Homo-oligomer: A and B are copies of this chain.
Amino acid sequence: MPELLLSQLCRVISAHGFPATLEGRDVHVRSVSTLEDAGEGELSFLSNPKYARQMETTRASAVIAAPGVPTPDGRSMVRCENPYAAVTVAIVAIHGHRRHPQWGVGDRAEIHPTAKLGAGANIAPGAAICAGAVLGDDCTLYPGAFVGERAQLGNGVVLFPNAVVYDDCELGDRVVIHAGSVIGEDGLGYAPVGDKWMKIPQVGKVVVEPDVEIGANCTIDRATLGTTRIGTGSKLSNLIAIGHGSKIGENAMIVALVGIAGSVTVGKNVTLAGQVGLAGHLTIGDGVSVGAQAGVSGDVEPGAKLLGSPAVDINVAKRQFIAIQRLPAWTRDVNRQIKDLQDQVAALQAALKSADGSRR
């Protein structure tokens, strides 16, 4: 990791479109860390005001923060209107991206003679590549990674340990699959015959488009027929299940433990928070955002923001949550008010009857 002067760093951050200026001494920093964990020689940052109190106790040598944030005693400050963007640039500048171990292609990787490897292949011992598979240039396969028959990988693909790509599936350029994720297993395709289940061969595939990153231990079903597709630039967290034949648009952000059933079509730039479920055969529009634990059971218009199970518009959901929270007390209130009214009406009826009687 290179040491950088804060003045150099300010130039790099500014060059990315986020003007940054130095306050205080122009010291070297060798790494970036959190306010809590940073020590001497380290750079930190304050973006979320929730952590402002840590500015008083941090041991970081320098801190990235917005103008106006008070300076901790004697520290250098990198001032930037967008501290989150600035720290992102700083992490890339100082730490760079992960450098994978370099295995080359040894004789302890299991590579079928009919498989084709591109230039710069970096295939660990214990990785397996089956017959007819084709890999682009500069692919890295960690130990235990598996590429099935006739699967195709683009350039710069990384399969972390024990990531599995079933037969006939395709990964685009620069796709990254973290440890233990599975691409292209059979989906839950069975036809009922009496009270038993007859397997429907799952003869489709999965296509993961370029620049997708998939976290650990996800499962993406191959299509029964045709293609399950993950769109360019989409980012998936861990433990996500995507059903057979579903198609996810570009630049999706999908959080852990989300389940998407089969034959769902998701538009571009969609965000699905943790533990969300989407029922089968739905169409989800571009730009949709679904809150944590929501369950979506109907088509969703572009741009909608949903919450709840069953999911509804987020503002409607919040009103429902408030109404439910008030419901036990309100139930008692209403019952009492109605009882009061009934008593009063009965009293009025009696009084009127009595008055009526007294007038006769």
Residues of A in contact with B (beta carbons under 8 Å apart): 31-34, 36-38, 44, 48, 50, 84-85, 88, 91-92, 95-98, 101, 108, 110, 112, 124-126, 128, 130-131, 142-144, 146, 149, 160-162, 164, 166-167, 178-180, 182, 185-188, 190-191, 195-201, 203-204, 213, 215-219, 221, 223-227, 233, 235, 237-239, 241, 243, 245, 251, 253, 255-257, 259, 261, 268-269, 274-275, 277, 279, 281, 292-293, 295, 297, 309-310, 312, 316, 319-328, 330-331, 334, 337-338, 341-342, 344-345, 348-349, 351-352, 355-356, 358-359
Contact = CB atoms under 8 A, between A and B. Distances in A.
B33 A253 contact: no
Contact of A197 (B204, B233, B323): B233
Contacts of A323: 324, 327-328, 331
B199 A219 contact: no
Given A217-B180, A309-B309, A320-B328, A191 B341 contact: no
A128 B126 contact: yes
A180 B165 CA distance: 12
Given A239-B241, A292-B295, A324-B320, A179 B188 contact: no
Nearest to A241: B256
Copies in the complex: 3
A197 to B, nearest CB: 5
A143 B128 contact: yes
A345 B345 contact: yes
29 contacts: A34-B245, A91-B203, A92-B201, A96-B201, A143-B146, A160-B185, A164-B216, A182-B217, A185-B216, A186-B213, A188-B235, A196-B233, A217-B239, A219-B256, A255-B259, A255-B261, A256-B261, A275-B275, A279-B292, A310-B321, A312-B325, A316-B325, A316-B328, A320-B325, A322-B328, A323-B327, A337-B338, A341-B345, A352-B355
